[in-house]
Each structure stands twice: as structure tokens, then as C-alpha cells.
Chains A and B, each alone.
Chain A
């Protein structure tokens, strides 16, 4: 298509094409076509600029942002599940069956959340988290108001509040990602 003599310039343009989101590839083709009309001495500078432009488009792409947020949520959910399995394992040593079951159940819920997020995206995360937050809040309120304050009830309350904090954080990330993607799609 073009008479590009400098292989570095060619590689930069090929990289720009790969980096650019699919809906912007025609623009990179336009840049490649323009390269032929740029003086030889300025082609490297031009190609570097095209790479920056492609990178900007990729970073601003709603699909990229959603994918990045989804991956962050999945990794964090897996890590939290792993920590809960570790906690449950420790509780099994001390014969605290209820706490062990709580740890495994929490780990299972987060694993389900990670799989659902991987399969259906951040909107699935929101759909799963919202009712879970309500259920945990109701449980926390019941423990706080409906039972006598004992070290065990305080421990359960602390565990629930800890999970609530993690879930609220995940909800904020998922909600912000979905909102940002919707706004960006509206702008594009």
C-alpha cells in the first residue's frame, strides 16, 4: 500500500493498528495512507504520534474500560474467596464449625460472583451484589439489635461488616464502570 522504507516506522504503524479499538481501525488506515505523503525525515515522528493517538483511543474506549474493570473485579473476588478459604481452614483447626461454614460459603459466593462477572460482565456483578448487600445488612441489624452482645456475636458482626465493605466497594467499581461506559458510548 505504501512505500515505507523504514521498518521501524512500519512496525510502529502496525502496532498502532493493533492497539486501536476495532471501530477506530479505519482511522489508523487513514494515518498509514497519510504516511506516504509525509517527508521521509518526519515519518518516525508522525508514526509515533499515530501510536499515541491509537493508544488514546484504546484507553478511552468503553469496551476497554469495561473489560479492565471486569478483570479487576474478577481478580479481587478470587483473592477475597482465597482469603476466606484460608480463614475457613484455620477455623476448622479450632473446631469452630459455624465460622468454618461461613468462610466457605463466603468464598463460594465470591467465586460465583467472579464467574458471573467473567461470563456476563459488570451488570451481573451489580445484580448479584445488590441483594447480597441487603441480606447482609439485614443479618447485621438482626445480630446487632436482636441478640445479646457477646464476643461471638461481635465476631460475626465484624465478619459481616467486613464482607459488606468489600461488596460496597465492588458495587461502586461496577457501577462506575457501567456508568462510564454508557456515557462514553453516548459521546461516541
Chain B
């Protein structure tokens, strides 16, 4: 979130959609820090990777999502 500047109110709906579309997989992983709760870790699926590459090479038109509600 810090790197992209995307707020949580925009980021999580995007992650949910990507998971629904099968482009992202989420799983719980234990935190490396002692006493911290497990976190959701995300990984692009093969179709998600293909989509990301296609977007990078401008094969797929992509919308400018901006910052949404920026909350």
C-alpha cells in the first residue's frame, strides 16, 4: 500500500475482484514477528501473471483506477 499509494478502501475491493476472477490466490501465513497474528498473503496465479504481462506490454487496455475514494 505504501509503495503504490493505493488506499485500503480501493486496494481490498481490487484484491477481492482479482481473487474472484482467479487471477490471485490468497492464503493465511504465520507472521514472521513473534506474537503477531497470521496475515493474508497474495500470489498471482498463472492466469494473473499472464494478465499482468499482457497489461505491461499494453496488449490489454487498462483503466486508470486513480485513487478511488482514497480512504
- What is A's interface to B at a CB cutoff of 8 Å? 1-2, 24, 27, 30-31, 33-34, 36-37, 45-46, 48-53, 56-57, 187-188
Interface residue B10 (Cβ < 8 Å from any Cβ of A): yes
- What is B's interface to A at a CB cutoff of 8 Å? 7-13, 15-16, 20, 26, 28, 31, 36-40, 69, 71
Residues of A within 8 A of B38 (CB): 33
CA distance A24 to B16 in the complex (A): 9
B35 closest partner in A (C-beta): A3
Residues of A within 8 A of B11 (CB): 49, 53
The number of A-B residue pairs with CB atoms under 8 Å apart is: 59
Most buried by A among B10, B37, B69: B37
Contact in complex: B37, A31 (CB < 8 Å)? no
Contact in complex: B9, A187 (CB < 8 Å)? no
Contact in complex: B39, A37 (CB < 8 Å)? yes
- Least CB distance, A143 to chain B, in whole angstroms: 52
B15 closest partner in A (C-beta): A27
- Least CB distance, B38 to chain A, in whole angstroms: 6
